[in-house]
Amino acid sequence: MRRCSLLVLLVLVAGAAQAAECVVLLHGLARTSTSMNKMQRELEAAGFLTANIDYPSRDYTVEKLAGMAVMDGLEACRANDDVEKIHFVTHSLGGILVRQYLSTNKIAELGRVVMMGPPNQGSAAVDELIDVPGFDWLNGPAGRQLGKGDNSVALKLD
C-alpha cells in the first residue's frame, strides 16, 4: 500500500495548485471506506482535504451507486468554500462509479482521477463466478454488472 500511496501522491501533486484541493476516495466492491484510510492519511499529510466515502456497494446497481457515492463526495468537498479542484482516487468499482457519473454529469472543479485496478474492460472473474451460489449475496447487483457480457456497465461507458 505504501508504493501505491506514493504513486497516487506523485500523480496528484504533479498538477497541484496553491488553491485548496480535495480528494474523494471511493472504495471497491464489498469493501468499506476503512480500506481507504491509509490513503486518506497519506493525502492529508500531503496537504489535501479528503472525503473518504462509505457507500453500500452490495446493495444497488452501478447507476444508483454512482449517483449516491460521487454526489456524497462532491458535497463533502464543496462544504469547504476554499476548494477549487476536486480529485478522485478510486479502487476497483469506485473507478467505474466515477466513469458512470461522468457519462451523464459534468464536475466543474474536476481535477485528476486516479483509478487503482478498475475493471474498465469488464472482469472475466465475474463471468466465471456469476453462477456460483452466494455470488449475489456477496457482490449484489453492482457485482453482476462488472463482467464482460451484455450486462457489463464498464464496456458501455466511453
Do residues 111 and 86 touch, judged by C-beta distance below 8 A? yes
pLDDT confidence of residue 158: 78
The dihedral over CA atoms of 35, 155, 132, 94, expressed in degrees to the nearest 10, equals 10
Do residues 97 and 41 touch, judged by C-beta distance below 8 A? no
7 pLDDT more than 60: no
99 pLDDT more than 70: yes
Do residues 17 and 85 touch, judged by C-beta distance below 8 A? yes
6 pLDDT more than 60: no
Tell me the per-residue pLDDT of 26-76, one tens digit each, with 9 for 90 and over: 999 999 999 999 999 999 999 999 999 999 999 999 999 999 999 999 999
Q: Which of 6-15, 41-50, 52-61, 144-153 has the lowest mean pLDDT?
A: 6-15
- For residue 17, what pLDDT band results from cuts at 50, 70 and 90? very low
pLDDT confidence of residue 70: 98
Mean local confidence (pLDDT), 80-90:
96
